Amino acid sequence: MELRKKYLKNVKKIVVKVGSSTLTHKSGLLNLNQIEKIVRQIADLHNEGKEVVLVTSGAIAAGIGKLGFKNRPKTIPEKQAAAAVGQGILMHMYEKIFSEYGKVAAQILITKDDISHRTRFLNARNTFFALAEMGAIPIVNENDAIIVDEIKFGDNDTLSATVASFVEADLLILLSDIEGLYDCNPRVNPNAKLIHEVKEITEEIENCAGGAGSSLGTGGMATKISAGRISTAAGVSMVIANGEHENVIRDIVNLKEVGTLFAPNEHPLPLRKHWITFSTDIKGKLVVDNGAFEAVFYNHKSLLPKGLVNVEGFFEQGQIVSIENLKGIEIGRGITNYSSSEIEQIKGLNSDEIEDKLGYKNYDEIIHCNNMVIS
């Protein structure tokens, strides 16, 4: 309980993620009673002056029910078709019920590609802040109707943790069909014990996570642990709880011992470095010599061309690259100041030789230490 008092007592901004298993019946049709209960709790928190963002699954599941599929579709076109039908149904229900409580709902559809692109990431962040100032409640989902695997978050646990991080939330609540994190799989072992508080996500905690759960959803406990890494690294507390319980959101905010609380990092990553670490795809690789390894890894210096041994991949200026030592171990990631073709030409050179080689010099560093995260 001490961790709950410390981290949940004065939360102002909350992100609530609701899974498909909570929002739908086993038939695949929407559980209107569950949706109404969740909306009522969120509206009530909003009346208290708290900012709330809802990240919702259920578009594909709603489409499955409407289109009469007996099982979850397996092909991408079938999933996209189900999402295209289901998203409208889902949003209509949210708008209808929120309006009954005097609230304005705003739909935001996001892909991983939106967050990986720095400008679109900042634009999305600004949209959330603008909606908060206007008193609207953002309802977020992945844009399942158009995306492919290459640009998918993969599950709404990851999406909600990413959203919680960049809107600078105090608390992320993951509502599912399980009570929280157990020391082993409760569906297999009836003696499994619920873990009420997690101070740090260790290898032991990760080993407690099992595989995917419900047939209607895509996330299991492993994805929730991954979401915990993303959110807690940004200084956001996270609670996993059973969404079917009456007033579960209210109980969590009122410090009741519901679900599993993951404590935030005491020294969270700054937003820019959090984005580099969790919200982007690696576009290339830079291999450094032992001198550069010492300077970057131990002394947190900028990466200069002098210490570069090899360049792998094709990337442009401003994209994220991995930094590896001579043993092939990743020691960090960062935003590159030069493209792969430019770095290929200047690797091994002193910074004052860059202009002679390229005909121009925009930066002395390949990656500035402020744009770098050390592993």
Whether residue 197 sits in one domain with residue 313: no
Burial of 363 (0-12, 13-18, 19+ CB in 10 A): middle
Q: Which two tokens stand for residue 14?
A: 């909350």
Whether residue 289 sits in one domain with residue 258: no
Contact 153, 162 (CB under 8 A): yes
337 domain-assigned: yes
Whether the per-residue pLDDT at 219 is higher than 50: the answer is: no
| Of 62-76, 159-173, 209-223, highest mean pLDDT | 159-173
Whether residue 218 sits in one domain with residue 127: yes
Q: Is 373 helix (H, G, I), strand (E, B) or coil?
A: strand
Whether residue 286 sits in one domain with residue 254: no
Domain limit, last residue, from 243, 269, 295:
269
Whether residue 177 sits in one domain with residue 87: yes
Whether residue 47 sits in one domain with residue 173: yes
Rounded Cα–Cα distance for residues 58 and 29 (Å): 9
For 367, the domain range is 282-374
Rounded Cα–Cα distance for residues 265 and 230 (Å): 10
Whether residue 188 sits in one domain with residue 79: yes
Structure-model confidence comparison of residues 365 and 144, the more confident one: 365
Could you list the residues known to form a binding site, using ranges: 17, 57, 144, 156, 176-177, 218-224
CATH number, domain at 364? 2.30.130.10
Rounded Cα–Cα distance for residues 76 and 275 (Å): 28
| Residue 211 banded pLDDT, cuts 50, 70, 90 | very low
Q: Which two tokens stand for residue 71?
A: 């099982």
- Total of domains in the chain: 2
Whether residue 250 sits in one domain with residue 123: yes
Whether residue 116 sits in one domain with residue 18: yes
Rounded Cα–Cα distance for residues 104 and 115 (Å): 25
Cα angle for residues 189, 17, 61 (degrees, 5° grid): 80
Whether residue 302 sits in one domain with residue 259: no
Contact 375, 331 (CB under 8 A): yes
Contact 204, 215 (CB under 8 A): no
Average confidence (pLDDT) over 270-297: 92
Domain limit, last residue, from 212, 241, 269:
269
Beta bridge partners of 15: 53, 172
Could you list the residues known to form a binding site for substrate, using ranges: 57, 144, 156
Whether residue 204 sits in one domain with residue 62: yes
Residue bearing tokens 């802040």: 129
Domain limit, last residue, from 211, 241, 269:
269
Q: Which two tokens stand for residue 255?
A: 């410090």
Contact 283, 315 (CB under 8 A): yes
274 domain-assigned: no
Phi and psi, residue 65, nearest 5°: -65, -45
Tell me: the pLDDT tens digits for 87-137?
A: 898 999 999 999 999 999 999 998 888 888 888 889 999 999 999 999 999
Q: Can you say how many angstroms the Cα of residue 86 is from the centroid of all Cα atoms in its chain? A: 23
277 domain-assigned: no
6 domain-assigned: yes
Q: What is the pTM of this model?
A: 0.86
Whether residue 347 sits in one domain with residue 261: no
Could you list the residues known to form a binding site for ATP, using ranges: 17, 176-177, 218-224
